[in-house]
Amino acid sequence: MSTLKKAGSALISVFHKEGLEPIVKKLDQLGVTIYSTGGTEAFIRDLGIEVTPVESVTSYPSILGGRVKTLHPKVFGGILNRQDNEGDVAQLEEFEIPQLDIVIVDLYPFEKTVASGASEQDIIEKIDIGGISLIRAAAKNFKDVWCVSSREDYADFLEILNNQDGASTLTNRKEFAARAFNVSSHYDTAIFNYFNKDHDLAALKISETEGRVLRYGENPHQKGYFFGDLDGMFEKLHGKELSYNNLLDIDAAVTLMAEFQGEPPTFAVLKHNNACGIAQRKTVLNAYLDALAGDPVSAFGGILISNTAIDLPTANEIHKLFCEVVIAPSYSDEALGILKGKKNRILLIQKHNDLPPTLTRSCLNGALVQDRDLRTDSREGLQYVTDLNPGDQEVEDLLFASKICKHTKSNTIVLVKGKQLCASGTGQTSRVDALNQAIHKARSFDFDLEGAVMASDAFFPFPDCVEIAHKSGISSVIQPGGSIKDQLSIDYCNANGISMVMTGTRHFKH
């Protein structure tokens, strides 16, 4: 076991006082000399515990409205000195610098202040200077100093104090130093990203302090991890641990269903990041049944998501299907009783729809970053380019199909009728192949495509797609437009009584 090092002194200066009281009392019980500043000093004194003001050590008061309190050689000398270095020890004695064995510091809540919508001046004042300097100094000198940099570490710190009678091992101190640098690097990343929110500097900094080890990655021979506050977005009610592939499908499901928030009951079934069924109806039960009808084969082992509460009748139907995950804003108690009947089925309540405004993915020996595609095609943005205009119901179906198309792997063609996905061609190298795949699939599940509509994620370079669609019963088409040969497709539609609208917005997804 590593040699135990007894602490004789501690510097405590924290913004958050929650959880501090038992630590201060334990340090006092152990006979540790406590130094502190400002509000923390007052907090400790109110507990009836003796505390030495830092000002009495530095002979300097807190100045500049509290901006400078601990930035002084007599503080940092007490932290950074090497206790096995004769020169350092001699200088401590020469300049009357107290040795500091424990540093307990946290940081101003910069991220929370930004998230609150505070003014820039308030945000700037929450950029910690003294605290971050103390953390870095104490963590650097972990050989001699024990750094506690977050209230999240208070419980572990107190347990070690109790178990080891106020002493620490080098292993203890080095572990807490790693935690401290995690805190400091994350803090600096948040500050940089605030100043670079418009990405004027072509630099990428990502920091997630919460993470979990997954059972494996995309395949069993690959390791997998998730970094982020998953519990902040979902409440898990039941089921096995989420896998890497589950999380990818959940991401696809959540981003798709975000298009239908506030709309009538909409239900989607996804498999391998693509919707294999989706429908919008007056009740969630009918929305589920018609979504399932889109492809009951692919639905096996899929991810289910609803934009409205799941009730008992819907749960009874879902229970007949083997599915990996069910996501909804809420469930009735009776529905939960049914859905929990499969021990591995994962049941999630989605708490919010707040997704990052940018997307990041690894690429070659670096990363690609882009804005999230937040543009949703709307009635107001449609360009009516054919002699025949689509009717109101066709426009509703076209916009419904466009939303699905936006969240389907390219090249894709989506076929919709009556706000129900009939079929989609996904991830094809040719748009014609995607269309033929969609038609074949729709017919294999007995969909009547007469009067259905078609959406494409990108323009048609030739009129072949509208010709194939027309011969299959498609009555209206939505596509971005932008090909130098757009007129060929428009001419075919005009000659054959098909309406077509253009959006001016491509929705590739790779």
Rounded Cα distance between 445 and 142, Å, is 66
* 344, two tokens: 């591995």
Beta-sheet pairing, 453-456 with 167-168: unpaired
- Burial code (b: 16+ CB inside 10 Å, e: under 16) for 396-419 equals bbbbbbbbbbbbbbbbbbbbbbbb
Rg (CA), the chain: 31
Q: Which positions are annotated as active-site residues?
A: 140, 272
What DSSP string runs through 193-224? Answer: HHHTTT--S---------EEE-S-SSSTTS--
Q: Residue ranges of the alpha helices (H) in 95-228?
A: 110-115, 120-125, 130-140, 154-163, 170-195
Beta-sheet pairing, 383-384 with 499-502: antiparallel
Beta-sheet pairing, 366-371 with 383-384: unpaired
Coil/strand/helix, residue 470: helix
The amino acid at residue 251 is D
Q: Would you call the peptide bond into 411 cis, given omega within 30 degrees of 0 as the criterion? A: yes
Length of the chain: 510
- Burial code (b: 16+ CB inside 10 Å, e: under 16) for 332-369 equals eeebbebbbebeebbbbebeeeeeeeeeeeeeeeeeee
Coil/strand/helix, residue 297: coil
Helices (H) and strands (E) in the chain, counts: 19, 23
* 157, two tokens: 């710190």
Q: Residue ranges of the alpha helices (H) in 331-385?
A: 333-339
